[in-house]
């Protein structure tokens, strides 16, 4: 009986040897091309633990008690709040036509959409200072996972302080700023809830998230 089990085990190993070799090769390749691979994997796990303890339960409650029409209005509101960052970084990118269209959309939705809760104007071109630097020809650099903030790269991480400087919630009183920022995070997480869950079900969540982030940023340049 023991011999039969041993023989079955040997057959299984031989049939799957290539798969193990491919997995090991992929692991070694990721370590070679990703200078912060070990740190990034650790920080990805750390961020997921924080997400599980904080944003995930809040998002579950938010999704359970908030009517879809209210969620849509909240999402529209925060999207509108991000417009100054979009049109200013577009102007600095030299994309004056797109920047002016984004500015017009912001003004129209703010005035006619009751502060952006409604979106009568739909024009949108994603932009921030990281994308502005990309349009200037600045390379992305090494991928790096930031504590609490998630995936980024050297270029985008350098641009983050400039992005945050254009967040309107930053200029509210402390309590109001914390409340608005928290609601914005919960809204963003609830919209990406399924995507986050799928990413962490993969064999290597870090690689999945890294590749998705870098591909998405490249497409937005």
Give how far the C-alpha of residue 106 lies from the chain's centroid of Cα atoms, to the nearest Å: 23
pLDDT of residue 32: 52
Least confident range from 120-124, 170-174, 192-196: namely: 170-174
8-49 pLDDT tens trace:
333 333 444 444 444 444 444 555 579 999 999 999 999 999
Q: What is the number of residues in the chain?
A: 221
pTM of the model: 0.82
């Amino acid at each position: 009986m023991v011999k039969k089990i041993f023989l079955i085990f040997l057959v299984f190993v031989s049939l799957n040897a290539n798969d193990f070799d491919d997995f090991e090769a992929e692991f070694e390749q990721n370590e070679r091309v990703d200078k912060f691979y070990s740190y990034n994997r650790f920080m990805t796990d750390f961020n997921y633990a924080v997400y599980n303890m904080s944003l995930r339960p809040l998002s579950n409650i938010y999704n359970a008690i908030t009517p879809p029409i209210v969620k849509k209005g909240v999402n529209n509101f925060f999207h509108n709040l991000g417009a100054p960052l979009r049109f200013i970084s577009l102007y600095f990118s030299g994309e004056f036509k797109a920047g002016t269209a984004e500015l017009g959309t912001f003004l129209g939705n703010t005035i006619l959409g009751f502060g952006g809760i409604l979106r009568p104007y739909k024009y949108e071109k994603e932009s921030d200072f990281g994308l502005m630097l990309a349009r200037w020809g600045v390379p992305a650099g090494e991928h790096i996972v930031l504590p609490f903030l998630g995936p980024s790269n050297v270029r985008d991480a350098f641009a983050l302080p400039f992005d945050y400087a254009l967040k309107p919630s930053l200029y509210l009183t402390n309590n109001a700023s914390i409340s608005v920022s928290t609601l914005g995070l919960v809204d963003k997480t609830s919209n990406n809830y399924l995507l986050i869950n799928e990413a962490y079900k993969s064999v290597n969540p870090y690689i999945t998230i890294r590749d998705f982030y870098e591909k998405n940023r490249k497409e937005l340049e």
